[in-house]
Amino acid sequence: MESSLSPAAPGCIRPATLYDLPRILEIERLSFDKQWREDNFTSALKDIFLVYEQEDIWGFIVTCFCDIARKGVILRVAVHPEARNRGVASLLLQEALQMLRGKEVRCVELDVEIIKTEVKRLYERFGFKTLKVVSLDSEYENDAFYMMKLQLTKD
């Protein structure tokens, strides 16, 4: 890839569109072993689906919420390998949490694979707490994940 993320230049966070899906799918492929299909992302466009853009898209976050339960769920966060460790995920997470607060969400939940310790630390910096560790298959540590929660209100 010729272009790269410039730490000095400002980027913007905006809602994702259908036109963004090719780049989002590329970031998805570079970020996850178990990938979402294009139709998963297309349906997510009705939720809180944001991208970080600086000449090109460098990261995305997909979040949904339930009005009745007043609960949010972070489904997907990914940053292109060339833009990692530059604050892109933090900016996306901060914006998504702000939007959830605006919808009067009480708490936000997410799952993090056990092997992704840096990602877990990112969520902990935002106040997420580990509820429990879940293992789908005891033979494979890669199938284990942390269930994490951030309480936004006291009620």
Report the pLDDT value the prediction gives residue 140, as an integer from 0 to 100: 57
In a domain, 1, yes or no: no
Which three-class secondary structure state does DSSP give residue 46? Answer: coil
Is 130 within a domain?
yes
| Domain ranges, residue 139 | 12-151
Is there a domain that residue 99 lies in? yes
pLDDT in the model for residue 97: 96
Q: What is the CATH number of the domain that holds 140?
A: 3.40.630.30
Residue 68 lies in a domain: yes
The answer to the question of residue 2 being in a domain is no
Q: Report CA dihedral (129, 40, 61, 140) to the nearest 10 degrees.
A: 40
What sign results for the dihedral spanned by CA atoms 149, 52, 50, 36? Answer: negative
User: What is the structure's pLDDT at 1?
Assistant: 43
**pLDDT tens, per residue, the chain with 155 residues:** 445 666 555 789 999 999 999 999 999 999 988 889 999 999 999 999 999 999 899 999 999 988 888 899 999 999 999 999 999 999 999 999 999 999 989 999 999 888 888 899 999 999 999 998 888 765 655 678 889 999 998 76
Confidence (pLDDT) at 153 = 84
Residue 7: the pLDDT is: 59
Domain annotation covers residue 59? yes
| Residue at 3 is within a domain | no
**The pTM is what?**
0.88
As for how many domains the chain has, the answer is 1
Q: Is residue 78 part of a domain?
A: yes
